[in-house]
Amino acid sequence: MLAASAIMVAIVSLISGCGAASSSDATRLGPVFTSEPGGLLRFPATAGARVWCAARGPGDTPLAVTWLADDNTPLTDLPGLRRVFSNGTVEFLPSAIHRAGVDASKWEVRLVAGEVRAGGIAALQCRVSGTQARAALWYRRDEPLQLSPPSPVLTVDARYLVAGDTLLIRDVTAADAGEYSCAVRNELTGHTRRAPPSVLTVLDGASSSAPRLASASRHLTVTSARDVTCLPWYREEQGRLQPVEATASGPVWLWGGGAALCVTTAAATVQHTGGAWLCKAYNVFGDATAQLRLEVDDDLSVSLAPNLLVGEAGSTVRLNCTVSAPGATLQWLHNGAPLPGASGTTLVLRGLARSHAGMYQYSPPEMQYTFIEQALRSGGSVALRCVATALPPPRFVWLLDGQPLQQSLPRHRYSISEERSASAVGEVVSVLNISATQPSDGGQYTCRAHNSRGEALHSARLNIYGPPSVRQMAPVRAVAGENITVLCPYAGYPISEVRWSMRGAGGVVGRTGRVRARSAALMLSPALPADAGVYTCSVSAPAAPPAVLDVEIQVRNPPKISPFMFSPELTEGSSVQVLCGVSSGDKPVYFSWLKDGEPLSPKLQIEEKSLNEFSLLMFPQLSARHSGQYTCRVTNHAATADYTATLVVNGILSLLFTL
């Protein structure tokens, strides 16, 4: 991963009396990027790629550009892989694997059509294995289908809709039966490949079963349903389920009477589409519910206005920062130093004086200095140093192989100092000192700088010459569906190999796949119940017996709550019950209820009954005070899950007639 540090800059100048900025003001501008790469570079390993970055200084003076790796160290040449040029260009050379003649063309595409009832909605899925590719064309028999990109104008009434790798066909008739095919385009090489034909079967007669749900996804997700008469959509916002308001012009619109929900990817709205979406389908034979979570990845962009500001002495001026991500952390700097008390997207300078003149910047908290990997002889001392800046000033925590130091190092042999820098506001220096080092002190050390706005991490190995050893580890608890990385806490130097294996699996964990290992790191992405078991870390040295450690990994299943809702037609005086059930998760589970974020008050006279996997909330007689947001909270040993529904109690209108 590459990191290009782009800091937005504004210049504040001071004048006495009234006046206008002259053209010479431009010579006082700070560094400005004139050419900047995007946040993601994708290229075929067979061809390589080049990226470039350029900047200018005062008077259009060209500036030197330094590329940084993800650990904040300057990027350098790697023979056969990467070249870094002095003009700001980085070249990635073709992969050595492909230069050796490995066949990169082995990837497959196939179409899954299946069957559908007449009058329903067909879902044809184009599946690709072995590469990254997307469906480019769809065929019926040998004729390409004329399809428009999804939009509220072009496709809202169309019979066909392309949703990622899926083709949806509405109001299916017998004439739609037959062979279909898809052609995909490799996103890296540009090569196109067509799937063998697949037959869509259209069944006669009305459906005699409950709805069936199918889903299709790419960057945004669309859910489709077949044999469905009604499809209301809901979205989880701030932990609560709300009906989706679809409009003819977007950003959310419906297709096929609700069989598919489309979300625009416009930059102004895409950040607000992430989260949980839910579809409920009904017919006379039953219902079905599908819930999915949409994750939106978008490049972070920032801008600062005005870039050059000239103000009178004693006046008030404002600098405005615009960030594409609403939750981004900001830090203001003046002439490169953090500005005390400055926060938010607007910086206000009151009583303008000469001390205010200069360059203002904003950036997230970051490491300024970090330690590097090193190898030492035992018996000596070592000092590991980290420097970070942030507002408010950060605090430091030190870890060894992801665990607190006191679990691995004797307390009398290490000390941690932490001091605020006198030369820069918000800068803190933390030093870990280890005395009388031993081979068992080796491992991956981490300094973590954190404050209320975020954190920054840096890790590197400290190697002490000696035979291999592995420190004991307590059982590791993972939550199903979440990613987890387990570090083998080994020490010793030099080390020839670190391997992970799973007891009973009959082999070493590979470097690729969902369960993979890279040196000391064992990664489950994500962890699944089948991953639970005993894993062995084996550390080998050139001239010493190997060290072995068994680690038990427990995978626990978090509770999953089945969606529930209140009827919108409830009135005062009526009664209602709502059931909160758990569809999956480890037992036992514990239920609790909240109203508007607070525990239920006895004054509400609401009854609750819990029984193993569900909880029943009963309202004997509704009144206006019962209206609100009701949250069912379920907890087990793995995690806590919440689900919220809105109860609206409608009043009764009474009319009095006088004769």
**Residue 463: what are its φ and ψ, rounded to 5°?**
-110, 130
Distance CA 447, CA 6 (A): 24
The CATH superfamily assigned to 108-294 is Immunoglobulins (2.60.40.10)
Residue 535 token pair: 């894993």
pLDDT at 240: 65
Average pLDDT of the residues of the chain:
78
* Domain 560-647 listed as CATH 3.20.20.140: no
pLDDT at 192: 81
Confidence of residue 9 (pLDDT cuts 50, 70, 90): very low
**Residue 635: what are its φ and ψ, rounded to 5°?**
-125, 135
Q: In this prediction, what percent of the chain has a pLDDT beyond 90?
A: 36
Confidence of residue 14 (pLDDT cuts 50, 70, 90): very low
Distance CA 25, CA 389 (A): 31
Give me the DSSP letters along 483-505. -EEEE--EEEES--EEEEEETTT
When mean pLDDT is compared over 58-62, 303-307, 352-356, 533-537, the highest value belongs to 533-537
Residue 377 token pair: 């002889």
If residue 614 lies in a helix (H) or strand (E), which one and from where to where? strand 614-619
Measured CA distances, 231 to 173, 213, 258, 282, 450 (Å): 21, 11, 5, 7, 46
Residue 228 has pLDDT above 50, yes or no: no
Distance CA 522, CA 485 (A): 6
Which residues, 6 or more positions from 40, have their beta carbon under 8 angstroms from its beta carbon?
299
If residue 478 lies in a helix (H) or strand (E), which one and from where to where? strand 476-479
Residue 156 token pair: 């809202």
Higher-scoring residue by pLDDT: 173, 218: 173
CATH class of 366-464: mainly beta
Distance CA 564, CA 154 (A): 35
248 near 239, Cβ under 8 Å?
no
Beta strands in 113-263 (DSSP E): 114-117, 122-129, 133-140, 143-144, 160-163, 166-169, 178-186, 192-194, 198-203, 212-217, 221-226, 233-237, 240-243, 252-255, 260-263
pLDDT at 3: 34
Measured from the Cβ of residue 154, the count of other Cβ atoms closer than 10 Å reads 11
Measured CA distances, 273 to 50, 276, 571 (Å): 33, 9, 33
Measured CA distances, 215 to 116, 125, 212, 537 (Å): 15, 10, 10, 40
Give the CATH fold of the 467-556 domain: Immunoglobulin-like (2.60.40)
Helix, coil or strand: residue 230:
strand
Asked if the domains 467-556 and 560-647 are classified in one and the same CATH topology, the answer is yes
pTM assigned to the model: 0.47
Mean pLDDT along residues 72-84: 77
Three-point CA angle 492, 495, 497, nearest 5°: 135
Domain boundaries, the chain: 2-99, 108-294, 366-464, 467-556, 560-647
Residue 162 has pLDDT above 90, yes or no: no
In CATH, the number for domain 2-99 is: 2.60.40.10
Strand partners, 560: 584
Distance CA 559, CA 580 (A): 12
pLDDT at 151: 63
If residue 98 lies in a helix (H) or strand (E), which one and from where to where? helix 96-99
